[in-house]
Amino acid sequence: MTRKAPTLEDVAREAGVSRATVSRVVNGIRNVDPAIREAVREAIARTGYAPNRAARSLVTRRAETIALVVSGAGDDSESEQNAFAARALADPFFGRVVSGVVGFLRPRSMYPVLMFAETEAARQQVLAYLRQGSADGALVFSTHAEDPLPALLAAESLPCVLFARPALPAPLTYVDVDHRQGGRLAAEHLLARGCRRAATVTGPLDLPAAQDRLSGFQDAMARHGHPYVPIAEGGFTFDSGASAMTRLLAEHPGIDGVFAANDLMAQGVCQVLRESGKRVPEDVAVVGFDDSSAAVACRPPLTTVRQPMEEMAATMARLLQEQIEGELTEPTSVIFEPELVRRASA
Amino acid sequence: MTRKAPTLEDVAREAGVSRATVSRVVNGIRNVDPAIREAVREAIARTGYAPNRAARSLVTRRAETIALVVSGAGDDSESEQNAFAARALADPFFGRVVSGVVGFLRPRSMYPVLMFAETEAARQQVLAYLRQGSADGALVFSTHAEDPLPALLAAESLPCVLFARPALPAPLTYVDVDHRQGGRLAAEHLLARGCRRAATVTGPLDLPAAQDRLSGFQDAMARHGHPYVPIAEGGFTFDSGASAMTRLLAEHPGIDGVFAANDLMAQGVCQVLRESGKRVPEDVAVVGFDDSSAAVACRPPLTTVRQPMEEMAATMARLLQEQIEGELTEPTSVIFEPELVRRASA
DNA sequence: CTGAAAGCGCTAACAC
DNA sequence: GTGTTAGCGCTTTCAG
């Protein structure tokens, strides 16, 4: 068996000092004689000491762990549970999020705990996890407008930061992108390249993000003399994008430009266009949203409105950290500017 | 501020019993008078008690946490760090893995900690994390043949279970699929539908999985009178699949069937085929591997060799658990059978 | 600048 | 069946 791991006590004995002193050098506290510090360092190396996280957490009352929760709006239909996780991770959007979170956490030797909160039971588990101090706070990514988790978190004042403004208002800190501006960028680009009959495939319209991308797009179109824009609602998935495009094409065969509210749907749009014998971008220009890996994987590669996801996710982690440390007591929000990335599709 | 959380002591006082008794009902230990148990339950509800994880871990010497690590083979070129996480998650393969792990863990109120070990520094952090008991063990997914992490884990006998047989031999438990059989399935399907000039796009040939899929495919082809099969090596990515197909087509324009060693590459293959004016499956049949979300997203939807990923991942978690509990002391391996899933591409 | 000592909240013997 | 008690390994006053 693995013999008992060395403790502070062992190191102290080895170095001929007290536990307190060893603790000080481990935690990088200044007031330690350089010579002693060196001796302790050596003793640590010699014994192969590693501080025990549970013991430390018990006294500091910090888990030094944060939860990354992907949450939905389901009730208790168990069947959904696992499919939900798979679906959430299938969205290429997610890779950049995790990358941003990990980028912030790793230098602090912290790692995110992955949780899914699709059902009521799962939500309660998330709350329990936080309450018992298994994690100090949560970064939450809602996939549905009706998601009850933010409110629950707020009610118990558990530290958390949301990705995107919640549809159900709650006094919570969040990070978001200026979706209206993103819609505007898409509209102006389509207009600039000469589109005269642009349409849009929106996200689920109960989500503020989807609404705002739409209204930003519409406003910009209107401002340039296009009062009416054909719309088809999608669900942020490839298939929903494809079927929205099919509907659009049936009613408005003359469409020469499409703004899809995310890259996955834009991929579906391109797919349908190709199958209908239309060339992208020659016959129909397509602009996506997100700049996820789907944008590059798409044929043709998508011109898209980029959200600075890594930065946004890192900011979420930072705000959560500040909240946990007590430096941030009032809810706040940070809004990022989107940016148009030109590739081949428009 | 949030007032101090209730402790066992508080609940004990409230219920008029001792801490030990409360602990017993919390942990579901039998020897407790039903009436008292009920009283304690009520006291718990009344006080809103939640057991403190750090305190518990300190005495049980269990973190009740496991790490899910995606590891590579890099040295210390920092630049890679973040891109690695994004790239790893971009593989649709990953969604099913997480889903399987979570499926096993969740009923036990456990959640995976997500870690990336692409550089030497990151690997050391993973080891430190495990040594200090922040996690009880690791589920490791290597993306490279030269990955040094398994050996490091083995050297310190830290509990871990690998996905796939490691290229560098190590006395470690792993879960895998019968790749040769998978290759065989692909070959036989292509043959059965009449392909006479089948080729294959392999994975990185330093990976045992890629080698085995290839040799299984070749063997089956040979057994059916096709001693030679054109090969192009890919890197398990969309782009590598596309360029491998381009090379194949340049040298062997008459190809009528392709076995791509994963779905992502199969998608790239279909892409190139379409651009070359070949119809899938009429002109060229394509079979993928994995049955990841890419298989469904592909046009046409891919006929593919399915790995039971969720089951495999869940099994990994179970084996790790057994190892942590000390029930499993010798390395073992569990091999799953692949299955052909017929869709439109072949 | 260093050491002694008091817990953090919980589990697990061991008594009763 | 229930209570008492001794720590788990660490941080952190508080003296010196």
Looking up residue B300, the CATH number of its domain turns out to be 3.40.50.2300
Partners of A257 in beta bridges: A198, A285
In this structure, the answer to whether residues B108 and B257 fall within a common structural domain is no
Residues B78-106 have pLDDT tens digits of 566 678 888 888 888 888 999 999 999 99
Residue B243 sits in the same domain as residue B155: no
For residues B122 and B267, membership in a common domain is answered with: no
Between A and B, how many residue pairs show a Cβ–Cβ distance under 8 A? 152
The single residue listed with the structure tokens 């031999």 is B169
Residue B44 has pLDDT above 90, yes or no: yes
Half-sphere exposure at residue A50, Cβ-oriented, CA atoms within 13 angstroms: 16
pLDDT at A1: 42
User: Which range marks the domain in which residue B134 is found?
Assistant: 65-176+310-335
Strand partners, B71: B117, B142
Q: What is the 3-state secondary structure of chain B?
A: CCCCCCCHHHHHHHHCCCHHHHHHHHCCCCCCCHHHHHHHHHHHHHHCCCCCHHHHHHHHCCCCCEEEEEECCCCCCCCHHHHHHHHHHHCCHHHHHHHHHHHHHHHHCCCEEEEEECCHHHHHHHHHHHHCCCCCEEEEEECCCCCCHHHHHHHCCCCEEEECCCCCCCCCEEEEECHHHHHHHHHHHHHHCCCCCEEEEECCCCCHHHHHHHHHHHHHHHHCCCCCCCEEECCCCHHHHHHHHHHHHHHCCCCCEEEECCHHHHHHHHHHHHHCCCCCCCCCEEEEEECCHHHHHCCCCCEEEECCHHHHHHHHHHHHHHHHHCCCCCCCEEEECCEEECCCCC
In a domain, A267, yes or no: yes
Give how far the C-alpha of residue A155 lies from the chain's centroid of Cα atoms, to the nearest Å. Answer: 22
With CA of A58 and C1' of each nucleotide, the nearest comes out as: C8
Instruction: Report H helices in A106-226.
Output: 120-131, 149-155, 179-192, 208-223
Pick among A69, A71, A114 to test the B interface (most B CBs inside 10 A): A114
Phi, psi of A149 (to 5 degrees): -60, -45
As a whole number of angstroms, the distance between CA A138 and CA A68 comes to: 6
Q: State yes or no: pLDDT of B149 exceeds 70.
A: yes
Q: Are residues B132 and B213 in the same domain?
A: no
Which chain A residues are within 8 Å of B86, Cβ to Cβ? Answer: 95-96, 98-99, 293
Q: What is the pTM of this model?
A: 0.93
CA B88 to chain A, closest CA, distance in angstroms equals 8
Q: Which amino acid is at B243?
A: S
Residue of A nearest to B135 (CA): A53
Q: What is the mean pLDDT of residues B118-129?
A: 94
Please indicate, yes or no, whether residues A185 and A94 belong to a single structural domain of this protein: no
How does DSSP classify residue B107?
A: G
- The two beta strands, A303-306 and A339-341, are antiparallel
> B3: pLDDT confidence band, cut at 50, 70 and 90?
low
pLDDT for B334 beyond 90: yes
Most A-contacting residue of B7, B56, B127, B134 (CB-CB within 10 A), to test interface: B134
The pLDDT tens digits for B231-260 are 999 999 999 999 999 999 999 999 999 999
Q: Residue A310: enclosing H or E segment and its boundaries?
A: helix A309-325
Q: Residue A243, SS3?
A: helix
Given a cut of 70, whether residue B11 has pLDDT beyond it is yes
Interface contact flag, B50 A132, Cβ < 8 Å:
yes
For chain A, the distance separating the N- and C-terminal CA atoms, rounded to the nearest angstrom, is: 63
Q: Do A112 and B109 touch (CB under 8 A)?
A: no
Residue B81's pLDDT is 65
As a whole number of angstroms, the distance between CA A64 and CA B339 comes to: 43
Summarize the confidence of residues B153-172 as an average pLDDT. Answer: 95
Q: Under an 8 A CB cutoff, do B89 and A86 touch?
A: no
Closest CB to B51 among A53, A55, A132: A132
The answer to whether A66 touches A320, Cβ cutoff 8 Å, is yes
Q: What is the mean pLDDT of residues B2-14?
A: 85
Task: Indicate whether B199 belongs to any domain.
Answer: yes
Same domain, B132 and B275: no
Average pLDDT over residues B10-23: 92
The predicted structure's pLDDT at residue A293 = 87
Label residue B115 by pLDDT band (50, 70, 90). Answer: very high
The reply to whether A160 and A248 lie within a common domain is no
Query: Does any domain span residue B131?
Result: yes
The verdict on residue B163 lying in a domain is yes
Q: What is the pLDDT of residue A218?
A: 98
Mean pLDDT of B314-338: 96
> Tell me, what CATH number does B22's domain have?
1.10.260.40
Do A31 and A132 lie in one domain? The reply is no
Name the average pLDDT for chain B. Answer: 93
Q: Indicate yes or no: strand C within 7 A of the C-beta of B13.
A: no
At CA A199, angle to CA A196 and CA A201, rounded to 5?
A: 160
Each residue's pLDDT tens digit, B178-193: 999 999 999 999 999 9
**Whole-number distance in Å between B139 CA and C13 C1':** 34
State the pLDDT at residue A124: 95
* Residue A129 · residue A342 · CB < 8 Å: no
Question: Which amino acid, residue B124?
Answer: Q
Q: How far apart are CA A106 and CA B116, in angstroms?
A: 9
pLDDT number for residue B190: 98
Q: Which nucleotides of C are covered by protein (CB under 7 A)?
A: 1-13
Over 50: is that where the pLDDT of B123 sits? yes
CA–chain centroid gap for B145, Å, is: 16
**pLDDT score at A92:** 84
CA-to-C1' distance for A33 and C3, Å?
A: 14
Picking from A19, A34, A60, the residue at the C-terminal end of a domain is: A60
Query: What percent of chain B has pLDDT above 90?
Result: 86
Residue B341 lies in a domain: no
Is B343 part of a structural domain of the chain?
A: no
Rounded CA-CA distance A77/B103 in Å is: 15
Same domain for B199 and B145: no
Confirm whether A1 is domain-assigned. Answer: no
Using a CB-CB cut-off of 8 Å, the residues of chain A touching B325 are: none
Same domain? For A169 and A236 the reply is: no
Cα-based distances in Å from A149 to A123, A153, A206, B125: 7, 6, 16, 32
B140 and B189: one domain? no
The token duo for B300 is 């046409």
pLDDT of residue A90: 83
Number of compact structural domains in chain A: 3
Residue B298 domain-assigned (yes or no):
yes
Strand C and B62 CB separated by under 7 Å = no
- Phi, psi torsion values for B77, nearest 5 degrees: -75, 85
Q: What is the mean pLDDT of residues B115-137?
A: 95
Same-domain status, B183 and B302: yes
- pLDDT tens digits in sequence order for chain A, 346 residues long: 456 789 999 999 999 999 999 999 999 987 888 999 999 999 999 999 999 999 999 999 999 999 999 998 887 665 656 788 888 888 888 889 999 999 999 999 999 999 999 999 999 999 999 999 999 999 999 999 999 999 999 999 999 999 999 999 899 999 999 999 999 999 999 999 999 999 999 999 999 999 999 999 999 999 999 999 999 999 999 999 999 999 999 999 999 999 999 999 999 999 999 989 999 999 999 999 999 988 988 889 999 999 999 999 999 999 999 999 999 999 999 999 999 999 999 9
Predicted pLDDT at B77: 64
Q: What is the pLDDT of residue B30?
A: 78
pLDDT of the residue at A82: 73
